[in-house]
Structure 1
Amino acid sequence: MLAAKTFSSLASSLPKTLQTPNLTIPPLSSTAKTKPQNPFLTSCLKSSSQAILTETLSTHSTPGPTRVKILSEALPFIQKFRGKTIIVKYGGAAMKSEQLQASVIADLVLLSCVGLRIVFVHGGGPEINHWLTRLGIKSNFLNGLRVTDASTMEIVSMVLVGKVNKHLVALINKAGATAVGLSGIDGRLFMARPSPNSAELGFVGEIANVDPTVLRPLIDNYHIPVVASVAADMTGQSYNINADTAAGELAAALGAEKLILLTDVAGILENRYDPGSLVKEIDIKGVKRMMEDGKIAGGMIPKVNCCVRSLAQGVQTASIVDGRLEHSLLLEILTDEGAGTMITG
């Protein structure tokens, strides 16, 4: 069994080129056998059908036999998920901390290179709050949703689509993968409709339809689409969309193998006041029972509902993952320990 702690230790012991968004992935050439200046050589071979990570590891703190054992134990997980579509929703602590952001980016690149088809969906609440404050616009919330009038919607679009999205694309590209930034408006990816509470919430929308046509050629070529959670209706009016909801609906439309929501808690807790009571795996019936018993409450309810809805539409598993944990994506996908709660159908 590949222990999560051991895998995390390996990830932390890798050279800095894999731990931060400064990872570069040189092309394979006829001089590939020439000893590189950097002792850690990573060649990511990409085509329309595969992405393979080839590693040459030099001596560093983790003994060679240990590294080989860990990598070999990851093989069944790589084989299981290679070629499968994985939707990752990014936000919370992992977005606010530069260290965790670097960890997420490195994980995405590695997963893409071993053949997973990654789609990255993001919000950007803290950044939106920052710019609203700078512009003297007060942030108001109703039941956890941002009240979005016309001026706020303009800032939301500018920050999510023009700033956060392109920043993430640049980091992923710098790390050696190929990212393409989009919003729900592009290619009619998401068609929005007003929220039932639009009188109070303003331009907060729901997703009426998903058309992933624009994403398929990107995914098939192992590019990483980075999707901002903004959409428009038939008239072209923009709406602020909850990023968890956007990720769940997109996972269903793409027939994804797995939906992963990065969040600020360990996952679903048997006792929500006890961080040590993590539920590692649960099915839809179990989740509904916990909601009825009041064990799932507050901000966890919309996340769980998002997961349940995606599972009901054909997604194989949905995980609520602790985004505060370094390399949580690798721990969730490439180990049997996981890094949160996995919900099954």
Structure 2
Amino acid sequence: MKYVVIKCGGSVFDALPPSFYKNIVELHQSGEWQPVIVHGGGPLISSLLDRLGVETTFVNGLRVTTNEVLDVVEMALSGLMNKQIIRKLMEADGNAYGVSGVDGSLLRAVPTEEADSLGFVGEVDKVNTEIIEQIVKQGFIPVISPLGIDQYGQRFNINADMAASSIAQSLAAKLCFISDIPGIYVDEDGKKVTLHQVGSKKIEQLIEDKVIQGGMIPKVRSALSALAQDVPEVSIVNGLAVNSLIDFMNGNQIGTRIILDKEMPHV
């Protein structure tokens, strides 16, 4: 079984066309690939926190996560967002099964190094792949919300890009970050040009030059981490383009393929 982990962010979710979900179902039904979806939900979390009057603060752009905030995060991710994705896949004639990283300790978590200032924000320590494999054996597409839990039952909010990277590593899967842009691009003579292939040194340079910034930074850092742990391929793909996911899986030049410098072709 060849797995592909598809990470879908909350910011792009509302804009994804029905063809995106049809592509996932087509991949699943082909018998060649088994899709696993990992999703975020930042905008929905922020909206729910506002509506419920739960105050939050930020440190270096990251949300401080208390147990009260975690209640809302869990409600948004494992409840609303997770089930919306399942409904979309069902509308595309697919079979999907939603699960949280908390369920069965699917994502065993540890606190981040910044836990003193950020609260219950975690990193994945171990992925219980047996749960994913059991869902797959039943004929479903797993849809995973990125919460984790430690051995004492404490929940943690986990960055969805990092969670997707860890799951891809554990399954030796291709990793595909779905975005609302064609990939990583640079300005050349006033025009935006997509980099269809980029190595690790170039990525670090683009971060330093502030070409890559904001939410794209954890994406590319997660990509490099995954590649270093034998994930065969990582790409950023525009989910708004028709059949972009199928094109990516077929090896067509679409989006940005991120590779380690040792894989770069010698000229």
TM-score range, shorter chain: 0.7 to 0.9
Which residue number corresponds to residue 87 of structure 1? 5
CA contact (8 A) 1:322 1:328 kept: yes
TM (normalized to structure 1)? 0.69
Which residue number corresponds to residue 94 of structure 2? 177
Separation (CA, whole Å) in 2 of partners of 1:272 and 1:203: 42
More strand by share: 2
Counterparts of 1:1-345 in structure 2 under 5 Å?
83-97=1-15, 100-115=16-31, 116-220=33-137, 222-256=139-173, 258-271=174-187, 276-291=192-207, 295-334=211-250, 336-338=252-254, 340-345=255-260
Other structure's SS at 1:126 match: helix
CA contact (8 A) 2:17 2:240 kept: no
Q: CA deviation at 1:326?
A: 3.9
Separation (CA, whole Å) in 2 of partners of 1:196 and 1:341: 30
Q: CA deviation at 1:246?
A: 0.3
- Structure 1 residues 272, 262: CA separation in 2 closer, same or farther (over 3 Å shift)? farther
TM (normalized to structure 2)? 0.88
Separation (CA, whole Å) in 2 of partners of 1:213 and 1:250: 12
Q: CA deviation at 1:322?
A: 2.2
Other structure's SS at 2:123 match: strand
CA contact (8 A) 1:123 1:229 kept: yes
Q: CA deviation at 1:218?
A: 2.6
Separation (CA, whole Å) in 2 of partners of 1:279 and 1:293: 16
Give the letter for the 1:194 counterpart: P
Q: Deviations over 1:152-174 (max 9, x none)?
A: 11011111112211222232234
Separation (CA, whole Å) in 2 of partners of 1:156 and 1:309: 25
> Structure 1 residues 170-179 or 272-281, which shifts more?
272-281
Give the letter for the 2:6 counterpart: V
- Structure 1 residues 222, 144: CA separation in 2 closer, same or farther (over 3 Å shift)? farther
- Structure 1 residues 293, 167: CA separation in 2 closer, same or farther (over 3 Å shift)? closer
**Considering only CA atoms, is the larger Rg found in Structure 1 or Structure 2?**
1
Q: CA deviation at 1:224?
A: 0.5
Give the letter for the 1:156 counterpart: V
Give the aligned CA root-mean-square deviation in angstroms.
2.3
Q: CA deviation at 1:327?
A: 3.6
Consecutive unaligned residues of structure 1, counting only runs of 5 or more, are 1-82
CA contact (8 A) 1:90 1:122 kept: yes
CA contact (8 A) 2:20 2:240 kept: no
Aligned-pair identity (%):
37
Q: CA deviation at 1:145?
A: 2.3
Give the letter for the 1:319 counterpart: S
**Count of equivalent residues:** 259
Q: Deviations over 1:245-297 (max 9, x none)?
A: 000000000011x1011124332223499662210012334434544555433
